[in-house]
Structure 1
Amino acid sequence: MKDFFLANNGLYLIIFAVILVVLLFTLRFVQIKKIPKDKVEVVQAAELRDKFVLTRDQYELKIYKEINQQSSIILVGVHNLQGQKDDFKLLSKLCKQEQWSLIAFDRRGVGKNRDEWKFRSLNTDINDTKDVVAAIRAKYPNHKIILFGEAIGAAIASYASKNNKNVDGLIISNLITKSNLYPISLGLYIRFLIGFLFTSNIKLPFDIDPEDISSNQAYLTNMNQRYTLKQDWSLKFLSQLKQINKKAPKVIRNLKQPTLILQSGDDVFSDFHQLKVLNKKWKSHQKYHFIFSGKHALINEPEIKDVFTQEIQPWVKNLL
């Protein structure tokens, strides 16, 4: 027996090394994939100011705000991946016709919040959304507060609505259901491997065709002024993005708040087979509406006016 072990030491070392490498890769994969809780360092209660919401950790989230004093409804906009608070201006005009109020905010590192803030976790965005809602509730205790999230904003809004009594309703626009959002090149694979092995903060460049996002030329012009066609996101962010999008439908199904789910028929970031599966699972207080045209940035598509009149308006009034 002793001779057997001595003769096979090399084999055992190889097996041990393989197991160790597999374990290390698995741990690294879990580490990158996990969305850290990102505990809030509470300094004060969230507060709604004129131009920003001061979060519990005293970060100033810049806001776009249209308050109608006669309103009993406040929509709170949570923008998409390449969006910002001003993307809700068209929706705000439609809300104004109904004497509803609307408040939208720039997520950290976006729009007027483009500073040196370093991304850690999408839970930061979720906590910020909770803070925005809490600040609005403190200022307007008798209003109905409805979160309106688009794309990644929809996922963030759904998570922020969990067990949140400050949220009276939720509108979901074009939830991201597609796994691979952008074309993968050899160079991207190499950067991905480097990021996986050494630093999850490595930037992964993606080429974006604005025509995939919207058919609204005014919106595209504005978008092109904000960003270059090549966007850089870290491996850490993209891994968390994939996780939150994957889990969002289940989170939405378990919400107690009434939910309106809007889906564009020409959304490049949607897996339409997956949507058919999900459509069978929505509960009775969750209304699903499919728009046969319209691209990803629905709130800036020409179709939004009809969608607002035919779907959003009656759904919101039903909450009153």
Structure 2
Amino acid sequence: MGYYVKVAPEVNIYVEDINRKSSKTILFVHGWPANHKLFEYQFNVLPAMGYRCIGIDLRGFGKSDKPWEGYSYNRLADDIRQIVKALRLQNFTLAGHSVGGAIALRYMGRHNGYGVSKLALFGAAAPSFIKRPGFPFGIEAKDVNALLVQIYNDRPKMLADLTNMFFHQALTKPFSDWFFQLGLEAAGHSTAGLLISLRDETLFADIKKIRVPTLILQGQHDQICLPPLASVLHQGITNSKLVWFEHSGHGLFWEEQKKFTNELANFIG
């Protein structure tokens, strides 16, 4: 079922909540610039395996409200905290893809991992999405700036190019069109705002605070959140497990669906 949770006086977040009777809960945080529908193929399977799947649309994306401001990692992590409070979640798995993984890490650091028993990161944009002095991984800041120019001038073209980069395996035209439409559901200003956070924010301090078992899934052909980032996370997070997806790019949850679902289910138990 779908409903809204108020996280701020004028901001309501859309929540898709499947199999609410189960005590084994996974809260999914999507990547940029999509929404909770990114995990459609997991939501088709995991509830039948006994899991409660909660997908949210980050503010500015999907069916959620789209305020002008509020796209910092702190604000987005605070939104998640309000959802956890409203739904009274305890002993749940927090799962994030791409920038959703970054936001999940900020939640763990900023809110001391409240209610989280396990953490799952999929192609996470962390600890830094871009290269920095002393951190030679990630993409170049100039490439992010080029995306920002496209957002302000031809966002559909940017989304079409991103779709082609997102996956390693060949896409059908209908699937490509569907994925493209996910990005169009966001507001232009929120698409830019979250991309700026991706460029400017880091999570080096946050990963040092992780105390729960952590699963890291990474596509070997990822062109967006580059594979070395996963290795850095694995080295920096105690009690973490890194699993490589040999036939996937950034969209490993679709490109190797069965392996993805099995690894996540086996990790949660």
TM bin, normalised by shorter chain, reads: 0.7 to 0.9
Q: Hey, what's the Cα distance between the residues in 2 that align with 1:164 and 1:275?
A: 20
Distance 1:305 1:250, change over 3 A: farther
Match of 2:179 in 1: 223
User: Secondary structure at the residue paired with 2:225?
Assistant: coil
1:134–1:166 contact (8 Å) kept in structure 2: no
Q: Hey, what's the Cα distance between the residues in 2 that align with 1:261 and 1:249?
A: 16
Match of 1:55 in 2: 7
Given the alignment of the two structures, is residue 303 of structure 1 paired with residue 253 of structure 2, yes or no? no
Match of 2:215 in 1: 260
C-alpha displacement of 1:263: 0.7
C-alpha displacement of 1:274: 4.7
Which among 83, 90, 97 is matched to residue 150 of structure 1? Answer: 97
Higher RCO (C-alpha 8 Å, min separation 6)? 2
Which among 156, 161, 174 is matched to residue 108 of structure 2? Answer: 161
Given the alignment of the two structures, is residue 241 of structure 1 paired with residue 198 of structure 2, yes or no? yes
Distance 1:298 1:248, change over 3 A: farther
Distance 1:56 1:294, change over 3 A: same
Match of 1:179 in 2: 139
Distance 1:253 1:293, change over 3 A: farther
C-alpha displacement of 1:184: 7.3
Deviation readout 1:118-171 (Å, 9 max, x if unpaired): 02441221111111122222xx5xx53111110000000111122132222211
Given the alignment of the two structures, is residue 251 of structure 1 paired with residue 206 of structure 2, yes or no? yes
Deviation readout 1:244-284 (Å, 9 max, x if unpaired): 3xx2354234211221111111111133345444443332x
Q: Hey, what's the Cα distance between the residues in 2 that align with 1:274 and 1:99?
A: 32
Match of 2:33 in 1: 82
1:133–1:145 contact (8 Å) kept in structure 2: no
**Higher gyration radius (CA):** 1
Match of 1:269 in 2: 224
Scaled by the length of structure 2, the TM-score of the pair is 0.78
2:57–2:63 contact (8 Å) kept in structure 1: yes
User: Secondary structure at the residue paired with 1:168?
Assistant: strand
C-alpha displacement of 1:219: 4.0
Distance 1:220 1:181, change over 3 A: farther
- For residue 84 of structure 1, what is the amino acid of its counterpart? N
Q: Hey, what's the Cα distance between the residues in 2 that align with 1:164 and 1:282?
A: 14
Scaled by the length of structure 1, the TM-score of the pair is 0.66
Which among 27, 31, 46 is matched to residue 95 of structure 1? Answer: 46
C-alpha displacement of 1:51: 0.9
Deviation readout 1:216-250 (Å, 9 max, x if unpaired): 5354221223446xx95677643322233xx2354
2:216–2:240 contact (8 Å) kept in structure 1: yes
2:23–2:51 contact (8 Å) kept in structure 1: yes
Match of 1:290 in 2: 244
User: Secondary structure at the residue paired with 1:239?
Assistant: helix
Match of 1:213 in 2: 166
Pairwise CA RMSD of aligned residues?
A: 3.2
Deviation readout 1:66-114 (Å, 9 max, x if unpaired): 0242x22111111110111122221112211321101111111111125
Q: Hey, what's the Cα distance between the residues in 2 that align with 1:190 and 1:105?
A: 24
1:171–1:261 contact (8 Å) kept in structure 2: yes
Match of 1:4 in 2: none
- For residue 166 of structure 1, what is the amino acid of its counterpart? G
- For residue 256 of structure 1, what is the amino acid of its counterpart? R
1:259–1:286 contact (8 Å) kept in structure 2: yes
Unaligned 5+ residue runs, structure 1?
1-48, 193-201
Equivalenced residue count is 245
Deviation readout 1:40-85 (Å, 9 max, x if unpaired): xxxxxxxxx951112253522111110242x221111111101111
2:207–2:236 contact (8 Å) kept in structure 1: no
